[in-house]
């Protein structure tokens, strides 16, 4: 079962921190005005920021998003590579999906992400995790090229790669 660290904050002051398995204990009054809630999840002994919740619309979105059943360990490891705070960036698009529309030379931006994670192997996160992040960005770029460099969705990456015939 996932466990979250939930920090209740007003301005710059942390009011309280609790551990929970869901967000049901957060009320609308906890995220109004200058109040917000920061949510963290521990995956592979690392703590990842999952959400910043401000306002009741944001609260309802994150309550539904984090109400999913526990994931198999391989999918949990994927959260370390493609964490929840990148999801739902604009509407239902992930942050990286939106970059395809914003970057003038998306291929260069994408390959720079690959280089960044390879260059920092052993310097920040677990070495294997850094290489899997590099692979994630490389797979995305490969799938985009298979799709004639037209924008793609993260969910379609593996099927695009699998469909490619040399």
Strand partners, 14: 9
Residue 88 — left, alpha, or beta (φ > 0 → left; ψ -120 to 50 → alpha)? left
Among 52, 86, 120, give the residue marking a domain's end: 86
Q: Are 40 and 50 in contact (CB under 8 A)?
A: yes
Helices (H), 5-126: 56-65, 73-81, 95-102, 106-119
Q: What is the pLDDT of residue 114?
A: 96
Say if residue 152 is in the same domain as residue 117: yes
Which residue in 161, 72, 77, 89 sits closest to 126, CA to CA? 77
pLDDT given at position 106: 94
Last residue of a domain, one of 38, 64, 86: 86
Please state the domain count of the chain.
Answer: 2
Which residues of the chain have a pLDDT value below 50? 68-77
User: What is the pTM for the complete model shown?
Assistant: 0.55
| Burial group, residue 94, by CB count within 10 angstroms (0-12, 13-18, 19+) | middle
Q: Which residues pair with 51 in a beta bridge?
A: 39
Quick one: 54 and 16 in the same domain?
yes
**Cα-only R_g, the chain:** 18
Do residues 82 and 102 share a domain? no
* pLDDT digits 0-9 by tens, 100-114: 988 889 999 999 999
Range of the domain at 11: 4-86
Report CA-CA distances (Å) from 51 to 73, 97, 138: 21, 18, 26
pLDDT of 119 reads 96
Which pLDDT score, from 0 to 100, does residue 80 have? 60
């Amino acid at each position: 079962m996932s466990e979250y660290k939930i920090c209740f904050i007003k301005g710059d002051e942390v009011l309280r921190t609790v551990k929970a398995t869901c967000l049901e204990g957060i009320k609308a009054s906890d995220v109004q005005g200058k109040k917000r809630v920061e949510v963290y999840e521990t995956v592979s002994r690392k703590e990842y920021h999952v959400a910043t919740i401000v306002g009741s619309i944001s609260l309802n979105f994150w309550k539904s998003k984090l109400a999913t059943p526990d994931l198999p360990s391989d999918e949990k490891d994927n959260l370390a590579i493609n964490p929840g705070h990148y999801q739902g960036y604009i509407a239902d698009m992930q942050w990286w999906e939106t970059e395809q529309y914003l970057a003038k030379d998306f291929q260069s931006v994408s390959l720079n992400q690959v280089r960044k994670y390879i260059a920092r192997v052993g310097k920040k996160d677990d070495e294997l995790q850094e290489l899997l992040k590099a692979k994630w960005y490389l797979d995305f770029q490969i799938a985009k090229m298979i799709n004639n460099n037209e924008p793609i969705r993260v969910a379609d990456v593996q099927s695009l790669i699998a469909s490619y015939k040399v």
